[in-house]
Amino acid sequence: MGWLTDPLSLELFQRALIAAMVMGATCGAIGAYVVLRRLAFIGDALSHAVFPGVVLAYVGGFPIFVGAMVAGALTSLAIAIVSRGQRIREDTAIGIFFAGAFALGIVLISTQTGYQRDLGAFLVGDLLGVSWGQIAASAVSGALVIGLLVALRKELLLASFDRVYAQALGYPVFALELLLLLLLTATIVVSLSAVGIILVLAMLVTPAATARLLVDRFTPMMITGAGLGALYGVVGWYASFYLAWSPGGAIVLTATLAFVIAFVLSPSHGMLAHRLRRHPQHGALRPAIDPPAGHDHGPREDRVVASVERRHPPGR
């Protein structure tokens, strides 16, 4: 097992590996919401929106986390406020502020001397450049994100699944949505050093999407996504070490490859399983065809319900 432990003799590499794992786990956990709420575009937008804040922090010498959070929060707020009216739709508002903020970042960095090398680090990550201080900040932010996702799991899930019902129960749905965007921003900041602004979208979407192919319940999906994200961080990092690839690129490619494998081979939702079962993909029709889900729950009653529904198909 020398090949596993050898790289870790250098502190530089230990730091890189830890940063990759923290990034992967945090992205994979919040990714459940990104996938289910179809926030991929918003996630992409946010990752670009934090850019000017990161550059300002870099230039001004204050913590990158602070700059990114402020820029991300301001942009999220602007998007939320502008798209509340009826005239400007949310995707339009996102497009406006996401590109605008990214342009501001590029302009800011172009005013600095020798900016081209630094720009690359922002865009695709710089795992070998992380300090212990950055790792500590990432770990605290990641733990905070995951902690809040767990503490408010019921409220966030309800507001995501059925917004109107959540409002009817009196939940502050707008505040919950804003919180989710802030957690997303924090996750992106955690990920910047590992995969950078451009590739972070893959980590927000791919592990969670892979988890969705493997499990059918929300909490397992979130746990699986976090586990897969961390695993991709490790596998991708080793690949980059031995093959001399870009670490960010290797981590994301690992995630993509794993998704494709799951898409084809997943026992429940994979392409191959569907083909073998020769089922049409209409989930709504399945209860009338499938046997009852659990034998210990009174299969007889289930059969009666199923046969009644077969005679009166729902008018969809």
Partner 1 sequence: MATNQAGLVLRGLSAGYGETWVLDGIDLVVPPGRLVGVIGPNGSGKSTLLRAILGLVPNKAGSATLDGAPIEGQRRRVAYVPQRELVDWSFPLSASQVVGMGRYPRIGPVRGPSSGDRQAVAATLDRVGMGALGDRQIGALSGGQQQRVFLARALVQEASVLLLDEPMTGVDRATEEAITELMGDLRDDGATILHATHDLEGAADASDLLCFVNGRVVAFGPPAATFTPETLHATFGGELMIMDAGDHAHVHGGGHHGGHDSAGGREHGTDRWVG
CA distance 55 to 45: 17
Q: Which stretch binds partner 1 (CB under 8 A): 63-71, 132-140, 158-166, 189-197?
A: 158-166
151 binds partner 1 (CB under 8 A): yes
Among 3, 11, 61, 86, binds partner 1 (CB under 8 A): 86
Residue closer to partner 1 by CB (options 61, 315) is 315
Least CB distance from residue 46 to partner 1, whole Å? 22
Q: How far, CA to CA in Å, does 166 sit from each of 31, 80, 173?
A: 21, 19, 7
Asked if 36 and 62 touch (Cβ cutoff 8 Å), the reply is: no
Q: Which of 230, 236, 211, 190 is nearest to 46 (CA)?
A: 190
Torsion of CA 228, 66, 49, 78, to 10 degrees: 120
115 binds partner 1 (CB under 8 A): no
Residue closer to partner 1 by CB (options 1, 164) is 164
12 binds partner 1 (CB under 8 A): no
Least CB distance from residue 132 to partner 1, whole Å? 32
174 binds partner 1 (CB under 8 A): no
Q: How far, CA to CA in Å, does 126 sit from each of 78, 180, 195, 250?
A: 30, 27, 7, 12
154 binds partner 1 (CB under 8 A): yes
223 binds partner 1 (CB under 8 A): no
Q: Which stretch binds partner 1 (CB under 8 A): 18-26, 41-49, 55-63, 166-174?
A: 166-174
Asked if 27 and 42 touch (Cβ cutoff 8 Å), the reply is: no
89 binds partner 1 (CB under 8 A): no
Among 167, 174, 175, 265, binds partner 1 (CB under 8 A): 167
Structure-block tokens of residue 8: 């870790």
Number of residues that bind partner 1 (CB under 8 A): 45
Residue closer to partner 1 by CB (options 198, 269) is 269
126 sits in the region (left: phi over 0; alpha: psi -120 to 50; else beta) called beta
Among 108, 221, 250, 262, binds partner 1 (CB under 8 A): 221
Residue closer to partner 1 by CB (options 107, 169) is 169
CA torsion through residues 49, 54, 55, 57, sign? positive
CA distance 297 to 108: 63
- CA neighbours within 13 Å on the CB side: how many for 6? 6
Which stretches of the chain bind partner 1, using CB under 8 A?
36, 86, 151-152, 154-155, 158, 160-162, 164-165, 167-171, 212, 215-218, 221, 283-284, 286-288, 290, 292-294, 297-299, 301-302, 305, 308-309, 312-316
